[in-house]
Amino acid sequence: MNMSNPMIESTEIPEINYESVKRKQRIRTFAKGMLFLLPSLLLFGVFLFYPLFKTLYLSFFLTNARGETTVFVGLQNYLGMFASPIFHQSMKSTFLFVLYTVPTTIIIALFLAVLANEKLKGIGFFRTIFTSTMGISVAAASVFWLYLFHPSIGFINGILEMIGMESIGWLTDPKWALIAVAVTTIWMNLGFTFLVLLGGLQSIDSYLYESADIDGASYFYKLRRITIPMLSPTLFFVITVTIINAFQTFGQIDILTQGGPQNTTNLIVYSIYREAFTNYQFGTASAQAIVLFVIILIMTIIQFKLGERKVHYQ
């Protein structure tokens, strides 16, 4: 008995220890990992997840002016929103706006970047000029364009009149207002997009061009076969960022048109702002915010699914 007991214990104990040590270790590594993640988890929790869930929560309620919930209405805010012509207009304008700004910004910026990538004397000057809009705040740029677009004393209408054309109510005509805001936005985003694309161009290895030169490839052939494919990760990044930015446009709208005329420039973020802070309907505003979130989520997923297939990573 005396002999067997320690034997049994000694065979059993290591096994139990082994299991629990393993578990302990797993917990310890997990805790360590969480410790490293903690700062970002906390930040995400406080600044992203908490507001997200709060928004979702608010979207099921009516609120008073201070944003405190008063009546639970279930999906009423969503149903009302999808039935509202103002919201339809706002969605339509938002998608049109994305369509106007994203391709144009990228094409112009790419064109400028290709130009500025040439090794010429004084090219630094042009690079500075092309990136300069990055240093201008949304508010300053908008005010500047507000004066350019002024119906009677504005510079653009002045030119139109000089060449004998009718002046245009850039910010007051529903046919033109969205275009005017899009032009402003393209101009403002150009600097950033240009800079990122130029960076992408400069990181392409020169040996590729050297071998192509030896083979006698033409300029456009090199552009099509080397530059664009090698640039695709950067392009992909720029497209994603520009689309998200376009969906979230706010400052220009607030200063240039305040969502007018006839809600044609009432882009979704501005519409959210107006619902929440002019109408004090935090419930409907939250419902719209959730819709915006879902749209951007879907767009991003599609982009990654489609884009990644086409993107060439080194």
Q: Which of 74, 85, 135, 164 binds another protein (CB under 8 A)?
A: 85
Site string for another protein, 7-46 (x = CB under 8 A): -----------------------x---x---x--xx--xx
Q: Residue 44: phi, psi to the nearest 5?
A: -60, -45
Q: Which is nearer to another protein, 133 or 172 (CB)?
A: 172
Q: Closest separation between CB of residue 139 and another protein, Å?
A: 13
Residues numbered 256-285 forming contacts with another protein, rule: CB under 8 A: 257-258, 260-263, 274, 277-281, 283
Q: Closest separation between CB of residue 11 and another protein, Å?
A: 34
Contact 288, 115 (CB under 8 A): no
For the chain, the DSSP string reads -TTHHHHHHHHHHHHHHHHHHHHHHHHHHHHHHHHHHHHHHHHHIIIIIHHHHHHHHHTTEEE-TTS-EEEE-TTHHHHHHHH-HHHHHHHHHHHHHHHHHHHHHHHHHHHHHHHHTS--TTHHHHHHHHHGGGGS-HHHHHHHHHHHT-TTT-HHHHHHHHTT-----TTTSTTTHHHHHHHHHHHHHHHHHHHHHHHHHHTS-HHHHHHHHHTT--HHHHIIIIIHHHHHHHHHHHHHHHHHHHHT--HHHHHHTTT-STTTT--HHHHHHHHHHTS--HHHHHHHHHHHHHHHHHHHHHHHHHHHHH----
Site string for another protein, 194-213 (x = CB under 8 A): --------------------
Tell me if 150 contacts another protein by CB under 8 A: yes
Contact 189, 242 (CB under 8 A): yes
> Partners of 72 in the beta sheet?
61
Q: Closest separation between CB of residue 137 and another protein, Å?
A: 17
Q: Which of 1, 153, 163, 214 binds another protein (CB under 8 A)?
A: 153
Q: Which is nearer to another protein, 38 or 129 (CB)?
A: 38
Tell me if 245 contacts another protein by CB under 8 A: no
Q: Which of 92, 126, 133, 169 binds another protein (CB under 8 A)?
A: 169
Residues numbered 49-68 forming contacts with another protein, rule: CB under 8 A: 62-67
Q: Which is nearer to another protein, 260 or 307 (CB)?
A: 260
Q: Closest separation between CB of residue 186 and another protein, Å?
A: 22
Q: Closest separation between CB of residue 296 and another protein, Å?
A: 25
Q: Which is nearer to another protein, 38 or 298 (CB)?
A: 38
**Chain contacts with another protein (rule: CB under 8 A):** 30, 34, 38, 41-42, 45-46, 62-67, 70-71, 73, 85-86, 150-153, 169, 171-174, 257-258, 260-263, 274, 277-281, 283
